[in-house]
Chain A
Amino acid sequence: MPEIAVPAHMKPIHAKAECLYDTYFRKGENPHQTHYCPGCGHGVALKLLAEAIDELGIADRVIVVSPVGCSVFLYYYFDTGNVQVAHGRAPAAATGLKRANPEAIVIAYQGDGDLAAIGSAEILHAANRGEPITCIFVNNAIYGMTGGQMAPTTPLGGRTTTTPFGRAAHNDGYPLHVSEVLAALDGPAYIERVALGNVKQILGARRAIRKALETQMKGLGFSLVEVLSPCPTIWKMDPVEAQRRVREEMTKLYPLGVKCDRTAERQPLPAPAPAPPLEELPRILQIPEEEPAAAWAKAEGAVDCRIRVAGFGGQGVLLLGQLLAEAGMDYGLEVSWLPSYGPEMRSGTSNCHVRLSSKPIDSPLVSQPHVLIALNEPSLRKFVGAVQPGGVVLYNGTEIPADARRGDVAMYALPFFEIADREGSAKAGNLVALGALLEAVPLLPAEVVDRAMARVIRSEKWLELDRRALKRGREALRALKNEPAKEPCHA
């Protein structure tokens, strides 16, 4: 290198931005040099971004979001916060980062393959919500990193590896004008398209990027700068020729200018409510403060009860299982609750697997239950064979069908829903069944179950009815037990 002879009276006015690292990772040979190809627009775009961050003095507050594509290398350059996200998801991740850290300046830096194709939903909705983030959208009308496939932004006629005969509208659609699409929404505060086709355009881009960041700093809402950028390598052009193409061709397809600017009339968005302190969470989530009474579980040794509740949708199958699991948890047991149901809200099949155990639970699946609660006949027939010998079956009906009887399990038939109906509503039939279960298998103390019910069932009216239903279930099963065994199934 020739000798540097800067005249003594001169001061540096343009130099490498301070918010960029001195050396970059994964550059074995020359760690001061970016990873980009000669003449790549990314270098200019990130340089302008870095300069704006320095000038605004926000480096300590900035979180840049690296997407997928050549843009990802941002994490090697910016000495700021950084999160690397899945393809196209930068605006969604940026939303979360901004909401969790309202003081942060969150910048999603994305290419056109990332933003306009796989990430089109994320950017559309972030813009529509007016999320106070800044998006730098580097558009070179091609997939660069993967070797030149057609992007949504590729011009008609553009030859790419996936459109070898040129992009045709009838087959490949039209070039997507992202800035115009987003500007049509009410959410964004500021959207401008700029280019890197010559120094004049680059200085325009510099101004726009700065304004976008200022828009976020003032809390005015969503800002996006679309940067038309050269990709000399994939375009198979030398850098000067590629710059000419940006200037003369791309700007015809994608006109430059401000697409929307509501910064003058926008009021700063209200600051999001601060997250509650950690110690407040148990109260907010209504987690009981006292330690659950785990002594019983320990004293009794091995508790491992596998319960299957089955019926059709709308019978309260899942709630029944949930109450068991909640009460078990309050009681200091390990629990699992695995619902399994069809897409219908009512009348489809519905069942759930519940495990209550004094040891850690390996699998939440209950394929051979100790207890089966069958709320209809198909469920009884389907699962009765799987019940473990010595187990318990509770069936919603007046009598166990003869061909579904087993001699090696205790089987009880009770019309749960009719009993509930007499109490006020057939809907509480699941609680009658729960009462019967607790009577047949003394798993959990009554007060523990009652406390779980009070927590899970929010409505006073229903809680009152459900408490009565539970009691009737207990009584009905006790009466059944006291009857002399007239059939072998009542073991």
Chain B
Amino acid sequence: MTAAVKEDKGYIVINEDECKGCGLCIEACVQKVIRAAPYLNRYGYHPAVYDGRGCNGCGLCFYACPEPGAITVYKAAA
């Protein structure tokens, strides 16, 4: 364990089956921690996936996403 790894303030969960691969969340993410998956989902889109680290919980991806329930943003309690 190294003390240098800072704990993330946020986390996102992307429902890959709801994602239509439009890429707007990738465009919106200031931390650059969302990318398009190399694989296709059931509907033939490259879904957005979270890297798993680096989210600050800003919520911009949520507002950029046109699907009401595809992204859920979590944040550490202050």
Residues of A within 8 A of B (CB): 1-2, 4-7, 9-17, 20, 29-30, 32-34, 36-44, 46-48, 50, 77, 198-199, 202-203, 206, 232, 238-240, 243
Query: B6: shortest Cβ distance to chain A, in Å?
Result: 13
In addition to A10-B74, A12-B73, 20 A-B residue pairs with Cβ atoms within 8 Å of each other are: A2-B49, A7-B74, A10-B57, A12-B74, A13-B57, A14-B59, A14-B73, A20-B69, A32-B15, A36-B66, A38-B21, A42-B66, A46-B68, A47-B65, A47-B66, A77-B68, A202-B63, A202-B64, A232-B22, A238-B23
- Chain B contacts for A48, CB-based, 8 A: 63
> B73 to A243, Cβ gap below 8 A?
no
Which residues of A lie under 8 Å from residue B45 when comparing CB positions? 38
- Beyond A4-B13, A43-B66, A240-B27, whether A13 also contacts B22 by CB under 8 A is no
- B34 CB-CB contact with A under 8 Å: no
In the complex, chain B residues 4-25 whose Cβ is within 8 Å of any chain A Cβ = 8, 10-11, 13, 15-18, 20-24
Give 21 pairs: A residue, B residue, CB < 8 Å, sorted on A: A1-B17, A2-B49, A7-B76, A9-B77, A10-B10, A10-B11, A10-B75, A10-B77, A11-B74, A14-B62, A14-B71, A29-B43, A33-B20, A33-B67, A38-B21, A43-B67, A44-B63, A44-B65, A47-B65, A202-B64, A239-B22
How far apart are the CA atoms of A410 and B73 in the complex, in Å? 90
- Compute how far the CA of A9 lies from the CA of B11 in the bound complex, rounded to whole angstroms: 11
Cβ distance B10 to chain A, nearest Cβ, rounded Å: 7
Q: Which residues of B contact A199 (CB under 8 A)?
A: 28, 60, 63-64
Q: Counting CB contacts under 8 A, is B31 at the interface?
A: no
Residue total for B at the interface (Cβ-Cβ under 8 A): 39
Could you say which residues of chain A place their CB within 8 Å of the CB of B8? 7
Pick from B15, B24, B43, B68: contact of A17, CB under 8 Å? B68
Do A33 and B76 touch across chains, with their CB atoms under 8 A apart?
no
The reply to whether A34 and B75 contact each other, CB–CB distance below 8 Å, is no
* Chain A residues closer than 8 Å to B16, beta-carbon distance: 1
- Choice from A7, A30, A77, A240 contacting B17 with Cβ under 8 Å: A30
CB of B15 to closest CB in A, whole Å: 7
Which B-chain residue is minimally distant from A239 (CB atoms)?
B22
Residues of A within 8 A of B15 (CB): 1, 32
* Shortest beta-carbon distance from B43 to chain A in Å: 7
Residues of B within 8 A of A12 (CB): 72-74
Q: How far is the CB of A235 from chain B (nearest CB, A)?
A: 13
Question: Which of A1, A5, A10, A206 counts the most chain B CB atoms within 10 A?
Answer: A10
CA distance A6 to B11 in the complex (A): 7
Instruction: Output the least CB separation between A357 and chain B (Å).
Output: 59
How far is B17's CA from A34's CA once the two chains are assembled, in angstroms? 12
| Least distance between B74 CB and chain A CB atoms (Å) | 4
Residues of B within 8 Å of A40, CB to CB, are 66
Top 8 A-B pairs ranked by shortest CB distance?
A43-B66, A16-B69, A39-B22, A38-B20, A10-B74, A239-B22, A38-B22, A14-B62
* Cα of A377 to Cα of B42 in the assembled complex, Å: 82
Q: Chain A contacts of B11 at CB under 8 A? A: 6-7, 10
**Which among B10, B18, B42, B68 is the interface contact of A20 at CB below 8 angstroms?**
B68
Asked if B72 and A16 make an inter-chain contact with CB atoms under 8 angstroms apart, the answer reads: yes
Closest chain A CB from B13 CB (angstroms): 5
A2 to B64, CA, bound (A): 22
CA distance A30 to B42 in the complex (A): 9
Q: Is the CB of B27 within 8 A of A243?
A: yes
* Nearest Cβ on chain B to A159's Cβ, whole angstroms: 23
Q: Who on chain A is nearest to B69 by CB?
A: A16
- The residue from A1, A10, A16, A203 contacting B68, defined by CB atoms under 8 A apart: A16
A12–B13 CA distance with the chains assembled, in angstroms? 10
Using A1-B16, A10-B11, A198-B28 as known contacts, say yes or no to A34 and B72 having CB atoms under 8 A apart.
Answer: no
A42 to B20, CA, bound (A): 14
A77 to B69, CA, bound (A): 11
The reply to whether B75 and A13 form a contact with Cβ atoms under 8 Å apart is yes
Assuming A1-B17, A206-B63, A238-B23, is B68 touching A14 (CB within 8 A)? Answer: no
Q: Distance in Å from the Cβ of B72 to the closest Cβ of chain A?
A: 5
The one of B13, B28, B57, B66 that contacts A39, using a Cβ cutoff of 8 Å: B66
Query: Could you tell me the distance between the alpha carbons of A197 and B21 in the complex, rounded to whole angstroms?
Result: 18
| CA A206 to CA B62, docked complex, whole Å | 12
A316 to B2 CA separation, bound complex (whole angstroms): 101
- Say yes or no: A30 contacts B43, CB within 8 Å: yes
Query: CA–CA, A2 to B15, complex, Å?
Result: 10
Closest Cβ of chain B to A52, distance in Å, is: 13
Measured CA separation A37–B67 after assembly (Å) = 10
A16 to B70, CA, bound (A): 8
Q: Do A14 and B17 have beta carbons less than 8 Å apart?
A: no
Distance A240 CA – B76 CA, assembled complex (angstroms): 30
How far does the alpha carbon of A2 sit from the alpha carbon of B75 in the complex, in Å? 20
Shortest CB distance B41–A (Å): 9
With a 10 A CB-CB cut-off, give which of A32, A33, A46 has the most chain B CB atoms. Answer: A33
